[in-house]
Amino acid sequence: MLLLFIVYALAFFGAGDPVRIMFMRGGGDVVYNEARLEAIRDAAGLNDPFFVQFGRYLNNYLHGDLGFSLIQKRPIVDMIRVAAPVSIQLGLATTLLIALLGIPLGLIAALRQNTWVDNTIVATAQFFWAIPVYVAGPLLMVLFVLGLRIMDVPYGWNGLLNVKTILPLFVLAFQPMAIVIRQARSAVLEVLGEDYIRTARAKGIPERVVVLRHILRPVLTPVVTQLGLILITIINGAMLLEVTFGMPGLGRLTVLSVNQSDYPVILAIVLIGSFMTMATNLAVDLAYPVLDPRAAQQQRGGEG
């Protein structure tokens, strides 16, 4: 509620006159007709006091009505219904790719600490971390499309399983994967110094069992927390990637709405992003007891 109030206030007091901007972009001489503009504002309720407009918007929002786009003249719910699945699929697939590659690489780097394997993994992760999305995307398209000629231009959205989606997934995963690799490596190095690890090895337990049962499980808790933050960042912040590769997701819709000063759409996207953030944080909290039963035991002990 507070976030909604702040965003609406910023749009109300700092965004300018949406009616005038709409007609300025559309052309024609209506923008110079103050009487006509005033009549349009009255019909849309834009001349009402701030709290009246906010109360009306909040009531519509609670009934599932996000309003209409000023530019496209479409219900915003329909626009979100088309764009959100693209961003969600892209975010979940990228997070899964990061987890499947980043966690094992961080584990291997820690188990081979200060060897060429560790140095290679860490250096490669640092290299990818230094390449922003807006640089990696065009460069890889030039390499694979024009240089190696092994794929067509990966532009547009034909579903998550389409071959055109492979390159955007890796581009989006580069920087977050470096974070997960370093997080997993640090967590494994910390666990390796625990007494129960030395005890397990002294008992003759196979190294594979020690790694999978005694090392990996406590390591997953902080890494999953990081993955939750990464998922939020990917879904809410993949603007440059979606614009570069022509994907009709929330990021591209945000860029178009900002460029067109389509304030109702911007407000709706902020609300959707906030909801996704809360849902992801809730999912991460629910995953803790599954990954580490000791967390659930400590919670029950604290309640008792």
Q: Quick check: 304 pLDDT over 50?
A: no
Q: Are residues 265 and 229 in the same domain?
A: yes
Q: What is the dihedral of CA 214, 218, 220, 222, to 10 degrees?
A: -160
Residue 267 has pLDDT above 90, yes or no: no
Residues 171 and 120 in one domain: yes
Which CATH number fits the domain that encloses residue 138? 1.10.3720.10
193: domain range?
A: 76-303
Same domain? For 116 and 58 the reply is: no
Task: For residue range 162-214, list pLDDT tens digits in order.
Answer: 878 888 888 888 888 888 898 888 888 888 777 777 777 787 777 777 777 77
Residue 71 lies in a domain: no
Give domain status of residue 70, yes or no. Answer: no
Q: What pLDDT, on a 0 to 100 scale, did the predictor assign at position 299? A: 47
Find the farthest-apart pair of alpha carbons in the chain and give their distance in angstroms, rounded.
87
Higher pLDDT among residues 34 and 300, named by residue: 34
| 10-68 pLDDT per residue, tens | 777 765 666 666 666 655 555 566 777 777 777 767 777 888 888 888 888 877 778 78
Q: Are residues 179 and 285 in the same domain?
A: yes
Please check whether residues 85 and 174 belong to one and the same domain.
yes
Considering the domain architecture, whether residues 136 and 222 belong to the same structural domain is answered as yes
The beta-carbon contacts of 282-290 under 8 Å, at least 24 apart in sequence, are 283/228, 284/224, 284/225, 284/227, 284/228, 287/224, 288/221, 288/224
| Domain total in the chain | 2
47/178 same-domain check: no
Regarding whether 39 and 80 lie in a shared domain, the answer is: no
The Cα 193–Cα 191 span in angstroms is 5
Give the global pTM.
0.76
pLDDT band per the 50, 70, 90 thresholds, residue 119: very high
The percent of residues in the chain predicted with pLDDT above 70, rounded, is: 86
